[in-house]
Amino acid sequence: MTNAKHKKLFIKTWGCQMNVYDSNRMADVLAPLGYKPVDTPEDADMVILNTCHIREKATDKVFSELGRLREHMEDKKAKGGRMLMAVAGCVAQAEGDFIMQRAPYVDMVFGPQTYHELPQMVMKATGERVVNTDMPSDSKFDHLPQENDNQGVTAFLSIQEGCDKFCTFCVVPYTRGAEYSRNIKGISEEAKKLVDVGAREITLLGQNVNAYHGEDAQGRTVGLGGLIAALAEIDGLERIRYTTSHPRDMDQELIDAHKDIPKLMPFLHLPIQSGSDRILKAMNRQHTADTYRDIIADIKKARPDIAMSSDFIVGFPGESDEDFEDTMQIVRDVTYAYAYSFKYSPRPGTPAANMAGQIHDKVKIERIMRLQALLNEQQLDFNNKTVGKTVPVLFDRKGVKDGQLHGRTPYNQAIHVKAPERLFGQVVMAEVTEGNSNSLTGNVAIF
Ligand code: SAH
Ligand code: SF4
Ligand code: F3S
């Protein structure tokens, strides 16, 4: 039996960290209506699928998930209850009407800019089906409750959303809308709250996080470097990270922040996508392989031990063997701590989907396997190089084995350390004793 005061809310999240953040906000905004998050969809009163549209398979996954959930809906109905079914996120934004047609049992479809309207939508949906893919001019950030649940030792905080770059392969400018930055005051208050409830590390999020430009108390416009400087003043906050950055927005203020602000971790996720200038141009990336190399050189001057990460797309339309070799070369030149690589996936409505020279899947597979082999080798090398060193580790959760804690090095490596539970939430010096491609093992050096 459903308790009228406590309704069960199940949210499943795909895609980027902004979606993870948004899912938490949706739970917050529904809390006053009596909804409480649960871990399984069985018997839920409301299910929200927070979706991602970045590559093909994601959409298919949404439909197969809906198919599975339908059984739970039927079960609930048979027991005389009702499960509200909602699709949110980027697939909802891009394919709202299609979802309603193909899955007529879905009650609500709504895009990323409408989450603050969720309570009204839920109330309406108990009577009728709802589609809301508006992009209201007032920001959802002005209306959503501030982060108030405890995300734990490491927390996410969205500071920027949307994108005006229009890379020719990417759906984000269409699903998330124009670039928008929150003001510093709201971000600082939210960061302080997170720290009050236990966060020691905050990752600042945005689709284009280093395009951030917010107003400070004096009305001056401040970039990401300035925002990080302001947040670094918060007592109890030990570590700051940010993701995802665009090479074009890597300004001097941000590079200097890596030199001057010890709380800013020596790690940079800076996607390049391709090492070929011809392809970068066709992608509308607005940078060349050499301007990217120059940025890396500058950042290494500011913070010599910085660990680099990136995203790559292989098999973009027109990519020749030579273009692909340029990508392999930039990987060898930069050397990454880890990186993500994807086969190009044509997205409806994006310019690249209609470009000549689409690459056969067989070629994409061959290329991605070569690229991933090189990236894996570099990742293992990077981890092995840490062995024997003593590094500060922030313990953020229990380890898999008893008597172990899981933590992160400044370079974002996962590390398992034999350590007493009381060190949870603290930054502790640990000696790295072993490395493999995904994680490290270590011992507490001093405590
Ligand atoms: N805003 C970030 C990336 C957002 S999407 C940036 O500009 O770097 C995350 C990654 O997905 C991209 O960096 C890209 O490598 C990949 N991606 C985006 N669209 C894609 C597509 N159509 N096919 C394959 N990979 C894609
Ligand atoms: Fe997509 Fe390019 Fe914007 Fe990144 S910068 S979100 S890849 S359009
Ligand atoms: Fe996916 Fe939307 Fe994020 S398309 S990657 S959930 S911005």
Query: Residue 323 pLDDT > 80, yes or no?
Result: yes
Output the CATH code of domain 7-132. Answer: 3.40.50.12160
Query: Residue 147 pLDDT > 60, yes or no?
Result: no
Distance from the CA of 53 to the center of ligand 1, in angstroms?
Answer: 10
Q: Could you write out the three-class secondary structure of 377-418?
A: HHHHHHHHHHCCCEEEEEEEEECCCCCEEEEECCCCCEEEEE
% of the chain surpassing 90 pLDDT = 85
**Which atom of ligand 3 is nearest to 58's Cα?**
1
pLDDT single digits (tens) 371-404: 999 999 999 999 999 999 999 999 999 888 888 9
Question: In which band, very low, low, confident or very high, does the pLDDT at 6 lie, cut at 50, 70 and 90?
Answer: confident
Residue to probe by mutation, ligand 1, list 167, 179, 313, 372, most atoms within 8 Å of CB: 313
Output the CATH code of domain 390-444. Answer: 2.40.50.140
Does any ligand 3 atom lie closer than 6 A to the CB of residue 383? no
| Sequence-separated (6 or more) residues with CB below 8 Å from residue 418 | 403, 404, 443, 444
48, β-bridge pairs: 11, 86
Query: Residue 321 pLDDT > 50, yes or no?
Result: yes
pLDDT of 128 reads 61
User: Which CATH fold would you assign to the domain 140-386?
Assistant: pyruvate-formate lyase- activating enzyme (3.80.30)
CATH 3.80.30.20 positions along the chain are 140-386
pLDDT of 2 reads 43
Distance from the CA of 208 to the center of ligand 2, in angstroms?
Answer: 7
Query: Residue 13 pLDDT > 50, yes or no?
Result: yes
Query: Residue 108 pLDDT > 60, yes or no?
Result: yes
Query: Residue 407 pLDDT > 80, yes or no?
Result: yes
Distance from the CA of 163 to the center of ligand 2, in angstroms?
Answer: 6
CATH 2.40.50.140 positions along the chain are 390-444
Residue to probe by mutation, ligand 1, list 52, 54, 327, 347, most atoms within 8 Å of CB: 54
- Nearest Cα to Cα of residue 96 among 154, 49, 160, 137: 49
Q: Could you write out the three-class secondary structure of the chain?
A: CCCCCCEEEEEEECCCHHHHHHHHHHHHHHHHHCEEECCCCCCCCEEEEEECCCCHHHHHHHHHHHHHHHHHHHHHHHCCCCCEEEEEHHHHHHHHHHHHHHCCCCCEEECHHHHHHHHHHHHHHCCCCEEECCCCCCCHHHCCCCCCCCCCCEEEEECEECCCCCCCCCCHHHHCCCCEECCHHHHHHHHHHHHHCCCCEEEEECCCHHHCEEECCCCCEEEHHHHHHHHCCCCCCCEEEEECCCHHHCCHHHHHHHHHCCCECCEEECCCECCCHHHHHHCCCCCCHHHHHHHHHHHHHHCCCCEEEEEEEECCCCCCHHHHHHHHHHHHHHCCCEEEEEECCCCCCCHHHHCCCCCCHHHHHHHHHHHHHHHHHHHHHHHHHHCCCEEEEEEEEECCCCCEEEEECCCCCEEEEECCHHHCCCEEEEEEEEECCCEEEEEEEEC
**Which atom of ligand 1 is nearest to 343's Cα?**
24
Rounded alpha-carbon distances, angstroms, from residue 396 to 151, 302, 338, 343, 429: 11, 28, 21, 33, 14
Distance from the CA of 75 to the center of ligand 3, in angstroms?
Answer: 31
CATH 3.40.50.12160 positions along the chain are 7-132
Q: Is the pTM of this model over 0.85?
A: yes
Supply the residue whose CA is at minimum distance from atom 4 of ligand 1: 207
Instruction: Output 137 or 214, whichever has higher pLDDT.
Output: 214
Query: Residue 339 pLDDT > 70, yes or no?
Result: yes
pLDDT single digits (tens) 197-233: 999 999 999 999 999 999 888 888 999 999 999 999 9
The torsion angles phi and psi of 36, rounded to 5 degrees, stand at -125, 135
Lowest mean pLDDT segment, chosen from 65-79, 126-140, 172-186, 232-246: 126-140
Name the CA radius of gyration of the chain, rounded. 23
Query: Residue 131 pLDDT > 80, yes or no?
Result: no
pLDDT of 1 reads 42
Distance from the CA of 59 to the center of ligand 3, in angstroms?
Answer: 11
pLDDT of 402 reads 84
**Which atom of ligand 1 is nearest to 273's Cα?**
15
Pocket of ligand 2 (CB under 6 A): 163, 165-167, 170, 172-173, 207-208, 246
**Which atom of ligand 2 is nearest to 284's Cα?**
2
244 cis-preceded (ω within 30 degrees of 0): yes
pLDDT single digits (tens) 148-177: 566 789 999 999 999 999 999 999 999 999
pLDDT single digits (tens) 419-432: 999 999 999 999 99
% of the chain surpassing 70 pLDDT = 95
Residue to probe by mutation, ligand 2, list 17, 52, 165, 205, most atoms within 8 Å of CB: 165
pLDDT of 3 reads 46
